[in-house]
Amino acid sequence: MTPHALAALTGRPEEELADWAEAIDAAMQEFQIDTPVRQAAFLAQVLHESDGLRRLDENLGYSAKRLTQVWPRHFYLPPEEANGRNDAVAYEHHPEALANVIYANRLGNGPEASGDGWRFRGRGLVQLTGRRLYTEAGAALAIDLVNTPDALLQPLAAARAAGWYWQHIDGNALADPATTQSFERLTTAINGELIGLDHRESLWKQAQSLLGAVA
């Protein structure tokens, strides 16, 4: 992996990408992402998830209206009935409070008051989320991600965690067929849905061309 290739895929200057190229290359070697086909799929996914290596933590600055659209079971806007939900206005553009509500008592997190939702919000190249994944990834990578979650904001740890998660979902097996259908399955494994599929596929095709990937 070279800064030149990352610059072509992200539209960023090469001089900003030297550390990233080194970290991603090391992670791909560590987790056997070792063919052009696998590398093209990996790059497409992590570059989409991180907005071209620009964003390494989850954006939770939602408007009240958007909160009711994304998490309708958690939030409402008057004059609707609450029905056990929270008034979205109270959480509008309040990322910490929002994270503690939406991630409470799931993903290995404690209740809202524990602060786990914010502490273990999405970070890194694949937005690792929740105490359980932070614990598992940290143990595998020999990094204390539970006590130092912001380590995932640094290139090497972010890239290694992405490689670990790729291995965790059997990303190489999903990437190897290099078909549209297999790439969609890979996207679902990483994202849970097919959000951003067009952009992911565009990056994938571009990375395949740059790396000379042939299925």
Residue 46: the pLDDT is 97
Which pTM value belongs to this model?
Answer: 0.92
Are both 89 and 51 inside the same structural domain? no
**CA torsion angle for 145, 148, 149, 151 (degrees, to 10)?**
-90
Q: Does residue 125 sit within a domain? A: no
Are both 52 and 70 inside the same structural domain? no
Q: Does residue 144 sit within a domain? A: no
Are both 195 and 160 inside the same structural domain? yes
Q: Does residue 128 sit within a domain? A: no
Q: Which domain holds residue 180?
A: 3-56+154-211
Give the rounded percent of residues in the chain with a pLDDT score beyond 70: 99
Are both 160 and 179 inside the same structural domain? yes
Q: Taking a C-beta distance cutoff of 8 angstroms, is the pair 31, 41 a contact?
A: no
Are both 9 and 52 inside the same structural domain? yes
- pLDDT, tens digit, for every residue of 127-157? 999 999 999 999 999 999 999 999 999 999 9
Are both 40 and 83 inside the same structural domain? no
Are both 44 and 81 inside the same structural domain? no
Spacing of C-alpha 191 from chain mean position: 7
Distance set, CA 61 to CA 15, 97, 195 (Å): 30, 10, 18
Are both 40 and 82 inside the same structural domain? no
Number of domains in the chain: 2
Q: Does residue 42 sit within a domain? A: yes
Mean of the per-residue pLDDT values for the chain? 95
Residue 190: the pLDDT is 92
Are both 166 and 196 inside the same structural domain? yes
Q: Does residue 29 sit within a domain? A: yes
- pLDDT, tens digit, for every residue of 160-180? 999 999 999 999 999 999 999
Residue 207: the pLDDT is 96
Are both 162 and 197 inside the same structural domain? yes
Q: Is 7 helix (H, G, I), strand (E, B) or coil?
A: helix
pLDDT reading at 215 higher than 60: no
- 215: which strand partners? none
Give the rounded percent of residues in the chain with a pLDDT score beyond 90: 95
Q: Does residue 149 sit within a domain? A: no
Are both 24 and 45 inside the same structural domain? yes
Q: Does residue 130 sit within a domain? A: no
Q: Does residue 13 sit within a domain? A: yes
Q: Taking a C-beta distance cutoff of 8 angstroms, is the pair 183, 189 a contact?
A: no
Residue 149: the pLDDT is 97
Residue 102 CA to residue 115 CA, distance in Å, equals: 11
Q: What is the mean pLDDT of residues 109-122?
A: 97
pLDDT reading at 119 higher than 60: yes
- pLDDT, tens digit, for every residue of 57-97? 999 999 999 999 999 999 999 999 999 999 999 999 999 99
Residue 117 CA to residue 111 CA, distance in Å, equals: 8
